[in-house]
Structure 1
């Protein structure tokens, strides 16, 4: 058997006294948390530990004694040894260290008071079962503030740490973390007990942090009231009508506004964060919102300087005219003999004039709005004060509005092409003596008479010869639509990156890597014959990719709805394709 004693480095030079700690259940290990300095009264130590039992979730006890001999304290070691009768434990640890030596002397005493080991051999390094004693030195501050992760297969963002059972290492981390009330008292406090632990040199704190905590309460109340007012306004019956709800669900700006409102409600909630995952989520949301607003203000400061709004408005109309002119040239090319293809002249003429008329309407609409574009852009640009993501969402909506005619062309072409594809497939089943059973959702056998076969053959021939013309228009406008969709997809990807990127977690990983731990490693500090082995436990920080995986904030963002095979299949049969969907939307076939 090996007795492992986790000893804090901050107590290496502590004055003589009692060891306060916890025996790990199911493990032959002890975690030392603090040293109570001499002089003390045993009754006060017992009352102090019983008081801590109500505040902490760890069963704290006196593990043994710690001796650091100094001048005038020659009988201290024997005095501390006799305290084992006052604090009965299954094992009583007698640790001592001499000045100028790195190693400790360890004796383990049974409850009945018999000394185990080599009967007084101070440096035997063995426990009562004949096994070795190993000291594992740890940085109590880092272990106290760190969060130990276990990377499991399939663990998603924000997942909690689970496992079949707590390991010894996890028990050590949780013991130190749950003993926080013990660390509220240090050796500078006026009281009957003086302790040494990781905050003995002065508890960590900042007047700025304390003022921020005091100011956050009224700010959260004010923000909560404003959000409740905004929620009430959004709940007005007029805004919940079906046309308004449909339009707002399609505008990226409205979706982003709803998303930020939900996150602000989470951050301003007066409820205390329960657990590490919820705290990190709130912190990531707050930092993400702060950085988002800062980037938006930088954009505003650049946009409203040197009359850039007017330059943008003066550029927008010529660009729209140029795009419309290029579309007209494309349609005239399709109305001729595109790439030398022989297409149906009558259908080609009808489709070409139909689309040219839409372009003419669109150009007229743009020129009608041109006197107001600068004013619209001036007011729309102010939304960047809400964050860069709002500005990008507005840009996505502007692109959608300016290319609405391309979307209409795509829908018209896709519907005509889809109608012909489904018509040809139905007529092809007619030739094979089959039909589609709508009730049973399957193909059944069916007998047709001569008239039905004649009509079916005639329609099949007409649709087959009109298919190349429709397919050509569908192909061209689908490619144009995919270009617009790709540009909007890049904008949505940028918005999603700002919304979901765990900036706070990444900052912790860079500035304080021990806060997010993936595991530990051990290094030999002192190894001498006949003496206990001394190891140093160092924390392995979480990898950057793992930080992104664990702490990435779930967003409304768009993700591929179908695989590439399913997407190509939909494009082939002419179904309308929206390459992304909201994350909250359920996948439907």
Structure 2
């Protein structure tokens, strides 16, 4: 039988004493947590072990003795004789060689057996890294095909989870250093002094009042948003259509979670809070940088001066496009009367739009100056405002698309109904199916006339619909890219990625072993190292929930809607959250 002894890499320099740790029978392994030094009283050691068990719920016990290279023979014999005072299934006697301090002799004593020869593997581990790390279970669905819902998910628990859990739960043991006036002296990774930071302690003390004030402000803003002021009919409709409203509500939810004074119950809740907090800080920081860039060198004025000529240029190009459609576009034979009516109708809308833009030209710079201040709420809010401004500036294109789509859709549905009339069928509205039907000659004659008229007018309508649909799709793609960028910033787990970059051992995917010392006739020495999670696995595990703006229809359904003339909103946000 092979016995594994996990030995802290900070303890080979320790003086002689007792090995304090936990025995894990399922894995036939012993985890050494600390070394108790002289002078000590066995009764005090037992009392302290009971206190640790009650607080940490870890079955901590004395596993054996440790003899350093500078110890005397009498001390070693005394430590070995203590096995009768601390009964245990296995009593490990680790002795450090005087010639080579990195080589240990390990003798395993079992009181119930006469033959005490056991193969021992000494595994050196970094106690600080193991205590601070979180060992993640491997999910075969994540490792395999994460996009196929039919793939069954199987969680693979690491065999070393108990070792990591033991070291993490015994954090109380590591708070005792040599400067504390305690009857028992230990050697562990913090025995020379506790690792702490004045800044961290100050932040901890100030976090509670700050969170209470922030929670009060967020609650006040939420109550104002839910008041009757914004529920008035026109304001309610306009407010519900804005991307800025969706992003502000999303950030308010984040602030409510961050400002909550309830302590995180587990690692997942802590990481979610930390990711939200870091994401909010970086978002606001990027927004402040954007404000600094916009308000330097009068860039707001330059943007306002360039906006009106750009709108005039777009309107002029649209006017030229309509004049081209009113002629013989690409040599196509169009219905002259219908072409003239549609062309003049759309030209009149362009004229109204240009008049509106020039009427607002004197206020645009002031409006942009105040809109630029929205970036102080975060870069994502500023991008949402840009998306809303894009919708406002291209409202005439949206109107053209709606007019063209409605006319085209009516003709498509009219032609399909009349085509069923020729075949002696009709659409049953109640049963939602096509049934047989008999028509008289008058109905067939009128249907033939209407079918002929709609069929010959269809190319003219279809051309206008095609042109304005393409223009609308260009605007939709631009807004879709903005929404994707906003969702990317909202969902990115920046705190977890920062840990992976600065402290990769904190988010552990597993462990690996390296041969540390191999001497004939001596126990094999291995060095345990932590394998961190990959960046892809971190994003998959800790990705923040966000309001998805991905297309709600498949590409086939989208093409079908475009063909029959139904209105499309492929980047419309859903009301539910997507994880």
Same fold (TM over 0.5): yes
Rounded to whole Å, the distance in 1 between the matches of 2:174 and 2:386 is 52
Q: Which structure has the higher relative contact order (CA within 8 Å, separation 6+)?
A: 1
Q: Would you say the 8 A contact 1:144–1:176 is kept in 2?
A: yes
- CA deviations 1:447-503 (Å, max 9, x no partner) are 333333333322222222111111111110111111111111222222222222222
2:161 aligned to 164, 170, 186, which one? 170
Rounded to whole Å, the distance in 2 between the matches of 1:149 and 1:88 is 35
* 2:403 matches 1:412: yes
Q: Would you say the 8 A contact 1:516–1:541 is kept in 2?
A: yes
- CA deviations 1:150-199 (Å, max 9, x no partner) are 34244489xxxx96574321221122112212212123321011111122
* 2:89 matches 1:98: no
Moved more, 436-445 or 510-519: 436-445
Secondary structure of 1:377's counterpart equals helix
* 2:505 matches 1:514: yes
Could you tell me how far 1:69 is from its partner in structure 2?
A: 4.3
Rounded to whole Å, the distance in 2 between the matches of 1:447 and 1:189 is 101
Rounded to whole Å, the distance in 1 between the matches of 2:130 and 2:425 is 72
Rounded to whole Å, the distance in 1 between the matches of 2:155 and 2:250 is 36
Rounded to whole Å, the distance in 1 between the matches of 2:73 and 2:401 is 94
Rounded to whole Å, the distance in 2 between the matches of 1:434 and 1:67 is 98
Secondary structure of 1:580's counterpart equals coil
1:247 aligned to 216, 233, 238, which one? 238
Rounded to whole Å, the distance in 2 between the matches of 1:341 and 1:544 is 55
1:150 aligned to 127, 137, 155, which one? 137
Could you tell me how far 1:585 is from its partner in structure 2?
A: 4.1
Secondary structure of 1:237's counterpart equals coil
Q: Would you say the 8 A contact 1:188–1:194 is kept in 2?
A: no
- CA deviations 1:325-371 (Å, max 9, x no partner) are 11111111111111111111121111111111111111111111111
Pair 434,11 (structure 1): closer, same or farther in 2 beyond 3 Å: farther
Q: Would you say the 8 A contact 2:214–2:259 is kept in 1?
A: yes
Q: Which residue of 2 aligns with 1:13?
A: 13
Could you tell me how far 1:242 is from its partner in structure 2?
A: 5.0
Secondary structure of 2:59's counterpart equals coil
Q: Which residue of 2 aligns with 1:2?
A: 2
Q: Which residue of 1 aligns with 2:124?
A: 137
Rounded to whole Å, the distance in 1 between the matches of 2:491 and 2:509 is 22
Q: Would you say the 8 A contact 1:95–1:106 is kept in 2?
A: yes
- CA deviations 1:190-225 (Å, max 9, x no partner) are 101111112222211101110111111111111011
Rounded to whole Å, the distance in 2 between the matches of 1:370 and 1:553 is 41
Q: Which residue of 1 aligns with 2:452?
A: 461
The 5 Å alignment of 1:376-525 reads 376-525=367-516
Rounded to whole Å, the distance in 2 between the matches of 1:39 and 1:28 is 31
1:556 aligned to 519, 534, 547, which one? 547
- Gaps in structure 2 of 5+ consecutive residues: 148-152
Rounded to whole Å, the distance in 1 between the matches of 2:236 and 2:12 is 66
Rounded to whole Å, the distance in 2 between the matches of 1:509 and 1:203 is 24
Moved more, 169-178 or 316-325: 169-178
Rounded to whole Å, the distance in 2 between the matches of 1:164 and 1:79 is 47
- Gaps in structure 1 of 5+ consecutive residues: 118-125
When the two structures are superposed, what TM-score results if normalisation uses the length of structure 1? 0.92
- CA deviations 1:246-281 (Å, max 9, x no partner) are 322221111111111110111111011122222111
Size of the aligned set, in residue pairs, is 569
Secondary structure of 1:513's counterpart equals coil
